[in-house]
Amino acid sequence: MRFSLPSRLMLLLSWSVALAGCVTGQIVSGPSIVVEGAWARAADARPAGDSAPSQAQAMSAVYLTLRNDGTASDRLVAVETDVAKAAELHQTQVVDGVARMVPVTNGLTVEPGQRVELAPGGYHIMLMGLRRSLRPGDAFTLTLVFEQSGRLSVEVEVRQ
């Protein structure tokens, strides 16, 4: 099969543009989640003098910021870590002057171009049934599971 010179030039130009997009990573379709500033509150898994801590005593919270640099929304649907028996997305709600931590059962959506802050008094990740104490300066891995982006592991710094 023979191509004319203009056809060959067009074909070469098309391949160059496609290759350049792949190499530079400039083509972004779908969500692109970035996690910033992940930290957890220090907590004891076994309070002093207690041989078996209750579920309420062996808890901590994780805070972070989610940013979606992509072109489509995504939803945080689950959280996993080895430092606790359970990790759940919660939201603090004040009802009749009493703050309650309510599980977020439908996930947390992050729209394109949006930043969602998980912070004290708002959305946060509860770590329940700590398997080990979390001391200031420690770090652990937390895996965020997104509907579109899949699993994203982040390093969490423990603070006072």
Q: What would you measure as the largest C-alpha separation in the chain, in angstroms?
A: 86
Please state, for a pLDDT cut of 70, what percent of the chain lies above it.
76
- pLDDT 10s digits, 46-99: 755 555 545 446 899 999 999 999 999 999 999 999 999 999 999 999 889 898
Q: Which residues pair with 75 in a beta bridge?
A: 109
Domains, the chain, ordered by start: 33-159 (2.60.40.1890)
What predicted TM-score, i.e. pTM, was given to this entire model? 0.76
Nearest-CA neighbor of 80 among 155, 143, 147, 5? Answer: 143
pLDDT at 89: 97
Residue 36 scores a pLDDT above 80 = yes
pLDDT at 54: 52
pLDDT at 45: 86
